[in-house]
Structure 1
């Protein structure tokens, strides 16, 4: 491997989400499978573009044998009602925010080596300054099948990649105004949220909303990935990472609302792009909630990811257009990963929530 390629992959390792951990009708749930929804009345004055999520008790996580350990065990929780964006924030919406505020995203700023090295193994040498330039991680499918253990074979650090140039400096947003914005860091998402008068959802809120009133189901719409042969989300069909057959109608991101909404009226909660939440990533979160692992105290790092021990990560949910049956299978409500808090990639976006008056979050 050349020196430059090694440096870019090293740089990308600090910024890359661990993608390896990577009119239609919904199936109707039985009464036993539906969530027990708390009696949280829908407030008046519905915000534009948002749906009311009534809150209630539900089972978060999973006990499925083939699920990732970070999703286990299933725990019973309760969440109060809240408003949620019906779709992911689009390029057009983010462009309006930038136009009005002059905001510059993290991917467009010079890289601060002093900050970056905190997420790398101690003693990592500083790369040449020519490498420390603005950019982001972009999915670059190889021309042939490659080992699935080495994510550097399909992820590349691309100088100049950003929300404006999602595939690199030669790309733009023409025809993608209604696609979800990508290459967004946690800082970028929270800046947009403050401007919009909203906030990022907690992981609990996000999963409750994604389940859409169904409990104990593998997918957001039931137990079959493609009921009656229909694709209900933008995922990867074919042999990951080199052969996306596009059987769902898309290769890459899709316009928001391309698939039917769930019963709460939310689009693309599964697939299209991963969505940021406000929670720090803890691989033992559910084990701690279930009393199977020590609880975190004030002196402990809120982040714990044995696969990426030096990174400070936020939880992302929902999977993306890169989730495939032969790879990550993360197109499930319980799926969760960590995303470096100070970076974005070409398959991570976000949507926001808004509190009604006197709303509080409770865990029971």
Structure 2
């Protein structure tokens, strides 16, 4: 059926077109066609006129935005035009950093990715969110908090470069509530880039990274590729200096979408970002169709969302084709919606000097084999099914070649034409590699997603204490309704978010469990600086990782007047060492909550309603307040008389881990509430809330906002 709608010759593309996608054939601006009838449209029938209108719109729109392509012609930045597989690396990832040895393990991280997904072109090293805001350290302070500080990050960059992987570093414009900095963000980032040798800057929440970042980096002699998270708001003029960008998940409609910035400048590689997706076929089809890349993001702020084996293998094959023909994919004459012979098959043409690459996708659920393309033919031209690694023997019909390739349901394809006398170095080896991979069809790889199972780290019981240890309160045995939920900002209520208690089958945000708790002892107050000093003096404890250990102390002692304030700048490991020395242990989370709540399910230790006199006054200032002395707010005591549970200091409890992530459950919250953004680590004053704090290394885990109290067995 021929498309009955007005063509693009009649309905021009508006210069005010917004959003990351261009309208598809059969859905041009101004035509209110019902989605339920899309299957009736012959997109192929209107494609030629549609593309012609798109070409005219591009010519006009480039003039309107004052497009300048000089940075795309800079040889130092040309690598961005083949940056197809881009991964976001959480520094807390256990494959990247080994806390046992205190070493970065870049090779282990990349070896794992290459085994499952194929080669990686670039990595975004992510060290700020979601822990930022638990204290007043800014995004730039958190670079210094990494193991080895900036020098450690420099070595990480060098290790990635040794493997041929480019490195992006993040910047976050919303971080204006933590400790102020003495220079604009672009100058601070330029200094870090220059010192570490990084290659790009990712602008978290930016819809266009400001030109000031490029100029600041260029002034240091280290120009970078700028990469905003989105482009929806800033305007298309940012294309001149943002050489790459992310786009969010693309529509899963019958007709694939053309990505606007890639169309405006084919050298602009967009990376499709769909962090919560568990089935990535639609995204990867759009990547192949548009000639763009993909954000291979699996550790999503502590939520493990691994590729299924099928998606991992699909990404590998798509990227193999894209890298091998990157010069064609970035060429100026890309033609989307190349005319195809079968309904549901969509193709793009990427022509170059004596060569043409067609990429094909099947939007139908069923396989479509046989003749797919009819293309102009010159004598001597050879054709190759590069997706399956074989040379084709086309049917020649006068001046046209009819090309046949198999297309699996929701499948992929790619065809190369080489003109008479043309040769391509390495083509035979590439075809052999693709043929070897094609021997196992994508449908043979498992496609079922499962959540990563978490394990609760054991806590050894203490020797029983028949009498109350000094400063501890007896908590009686009871049957307890343990009701709590995670307050992570992202992840919605998806399976895999938050933690997995031993009685649960998978991690989830909301938890409820009726349980018996044996009698135990718990500290009335958090451990103080004076008590921690006694531990050091008596035990001689010295952590292997000393970075940021007791950072607030002076000359090996608490500041004057800080003796009775809760000790901070101690890692989970430091807290465990103190507890062992004292013949105690850290409390299980449910013990902490029971000691704070009793058995009536109250919202706060003192009752159901908020009482401002029961906690330190919350601070909205950029610099976090000093903690108050213990015992300053007796009105905040729990039914058992336990004090300083809420609003004084976050407190270490349990640790959970899976293959990728270690995280500690924090309870109680502190008095610091940084403003300007809802992305800061949320406070958890209510007793049915807990914080999930990602663990990397003591150097980074230690915080001015976290302390602890101990428990012991009876």
Distance 2:534 2:658 in 1: 33
What residue number does 2:629 align with? 255
1:63–1:72 contact (8 Å) kept in structure 2: yes
Give the conservation status (yes or no) of the 8 Å contact 2:485–2:690: no
CA distance in 1, matches of 2:553, 2:534: 21
- The CA deviation at 1:317 is 1.0
Residue 236 of structure 1 corresponds to: 618
Please state how far the C-alpha of 1:56 moved relative to its aligned partner. Answer: 1.1
Match of 2:655 among 277, 280, 283: 280
Alpha-carbon distance between aligned partners in 2 of 1:334 and 1:324, rounded to the nearest angstrom: 22
**Which residue, out of 57, 77, 81, partners 2:479?**
57
Structure 1 pair 56/323, CA: closer, same or farther in 2 (3 Å)? farther
Alignment partner of 1:312 out of 648, 653, 662: 662
Rounded to whole Å, the distance in 1 between the matches of 2:662 and 2:486 is: 28
In structure 1, distance between residues paired with 2:556 and 2:521: 38
8 Å Cα contact 2:487-2:684 kept in structure 1: no
Choose from 142, 150, 159 the match for 1:9. Answer: 142
CA offsets 1:287-319 (integer angstroms, 9 cap, x no match): xxxxxxxxxxxxxxx349xxxxx5422222111
The CA distance in 2 between the partners of 1:190 and 1:170, in whole Å, is 20
Q: Relative to 1, partners in 2 of residues 1:75 and 1:6: Cα closer, same or farther, differing over 3 Å?
A: closer
2:706 is the alignment partner of 1:352: no
What's the CA shift for 1:169?
Answer: 8.4
> Does the 8 Å CA contact 1:323/1:331 hold for their aligned counterparts?
no
1:336 alignment partner in structure 2: 690
Match of 1:120 in 2: none
User: Is 2:585–2:710's contact at 8 Å kept on the other side of the alignment?
Assistant: yes
Matched, 1:268 2:623: no
Measure, in 1, the Cα distance between the counterparts of 2:583 and 2:514.
Answer: 30
Compare 184-193 and 170-179 and name the one that shifted more: 170-179
Q: Following the alignment from structure 1 to structure 2, what is the Cα–Cα distance between the partners of residues 220 and 87?
A: 14
Alpha-carbon shift at residue 252 of structure 1 (Å): 2.7
- The answer (yes or no) to whether the contact 1:303–1:313 under 8 Å persists in 2 is no
Measured after TM superposition, the shift of residue 355 of structure 1 is: 0.6
Instruction: Say whether 1:322 aligns with 2:672.
Output: yes
1:74 aligns with 2:74: no
CA 252–81 in structure 1, closer or farther in 2 if over 3 Å, else same:
same
- Give the conservation status (yes or no) of the 8 Å contact 2:485–2:688: no
Displacement, 1:104? 1.9
Relative to structure 1, the CA distance from residue 92 to residue 335 in structure 2 (aligned partners, 3 Å threshold; closer, same or farther) is same
Q: Structure 2 residue aligned with 1:200, among 586, 595, 602?
A: 586
Matched, 1:104 2:542: yes
The question of whether the paired residues in 1 share the 8 Å contact of 2:488 and 2:692 is answered with no
| Whole-Å separation in 2 of the counterparts to 1:220 and 1:195 | 29
Residues 569 and 702, structure 2, Cα contact 8 Å, conserved in 1? yes
Q: Which has the larger radius of gyration?
A: 2
Distance across 1 between alignment mates of 2:481 and 2:535: 36
User: Residues of 2 paired with 1:329 and 1:222: CA distance?
Assistant: 18
Q: Does 1:190 align with 2:576?
A: yes
Name the SS of the counterpart of 1:74 in structure 2.
strand
Counting only pairs closer than 5 Å after superposition, residues 36-185 of structure 1 correspond to structure 2 as: 44-62=466-484, 70=498, 72-105=510-543, 109=546, 134-135=547-548, 162-163=549-550, 165-166=551-552, 172-185=558-571
Q: Distance in 2 between matches of 1:311 and 1:65?
A: 17
Larger relative contact order (Cα-Cα within 8 Å, sequence gap ≥ 6): 1
Distance 1:222 1:65, change over 3 A: farther
The offset of 1:208, in angstroms, is: 0.9
Q: SS state of the match for residue 542, structure 2?
A: coil
Q: SS where residue 208 of structure 1 aligns? A: helix
1:217 and 2:587 are equivalent in the alignment? no
- Whichever structure has more strand as a proportion of its residues is 2
Matched-pair contact (CA < 8 Å) for 2:465–2:713: no
Q: 5 Å matches for 1:15-30?
A: none
1:25 aligned partner: none
Does the Cα contact within 8 Å between 2:487 and 2:690 map onto a contact in 1?
A: no
Is this contact kept in 2: 1:235–1:331, CA < 8 A?
no
